[in-house]
Amino acid sequence: MPDQRDTVLIEGAKIQRARLGSALLYGHIGERRVVNDHMRRLIGSLIVAAVACAACVGVSFVGQILSAQASTAPPSVFLTPTEQP
């Protein structure tokens, strides 16, 4: 029967390597993000997206109103007359 101490040592090294890799990728266990952090980010992103969409719609609406007023406005007073006295 092979020596179990070697197997235990190898398993311990694998576990330690996995923990170090996990700490490198995700940070210290106390600093890892939880579900509440992700929900806050999601809600914040949705709010920012809604504000951006509202701004785009508002700019488009104002532009449409201004173009409609420009097309129906009477001729400008500042045009030079064709006849001179």
User: Going by C-beta distance under 8 Å and a sequence separation of 6 or more, which residues neighbour residue 7?
Assistant: none
Q: For the segment 55-68, what is each residue's pLDDT rounded down to a tens digit?
A: 999 999 999 999 98
pLDDT band at 52 (very low <50, low <70, confident <90, very high): very high
User: CB of 26 within 8 A of CB of 32?
Assistant: yes
pLDDT for 48: 97
Domain ranges of the chain: 1-32, 34-67
Higher pLDDT, 82 or 38: 38
pLDDT band at 34 (very low <50, low <70, confident <90, very high): low
pLDDT for 80: 60
pLDDT for 60: 97
